[in-house]
Amino acid sequence: MPYVPTISNYKPFYIQTAADATAWDTTTYGLVAQTQPFPDNYEVKDPYKNDWFDENGDDEYVAAMRRKAFEITVKFYVKTYPATGSSPASAIQVLNSQVASFRGKLIPGEFKIWDSWQSKGFQKVRFVKDEVEMREVEDDYAWVIIAVTFKVNDPSTAVTYNSINQTITSA
């Protein structure tokens, strides 16, 4: 079982893949969300336009402005201890296994995310990359701060988290 530190008033970060019947908290893999920089403002795409050489200005079609996709980076903290029992492993082996399991869950396709802290989420999200920002490995524990970048391909559809059936759905 992953180690999850006791944090008062911690607001979970949920992910729901297409294969999941319910959304799961990232602490399932021992990842505690540190930062969730969801934007408050969005950028729109350039409108369709024609620049006729025999007319002044541009002819722009602005009846349906669409938002641009964007990337967000969420920082997670993971701390592990050596595993004992029938499958002993060092703390760094446990840490690498937890991060690899988390990454393996995200890489196959699109998913939905929900941040309880900001009460905001998105659908049609994909994994872009992860980067280790800080790491410490000792004999009796290992921890890492990992920055995971997601790309939000649908920035306009509102989603909500239903705590009763633990799903992320379009609002």
pTM: 0.84
What domains does the chain contain, in order, with CATH numbers? Answer: 13-170 (2.40.30.200)
Which residues make Cβ contacts (< 8 Å) with residue 60, sequence separation at least 6?
47, 48, 49
pLDDT tens digit at each of 171 positions of the chain:
566 667 777 888 999 998 889 999 888 888 888 877 788 778 888 888 888 888 888 888 777 888 899 999 999 999 888 888 777 888 889 889 999 999 998 988 899 999 998 889 999 999 999 999 998 888 888 999 999 999 999 998 989 999 888 999 987
3-class SS at 142?
strand
Question: How are beta strands 24-25 and 13-17 bridged, if at all?
Answer: antiparallel
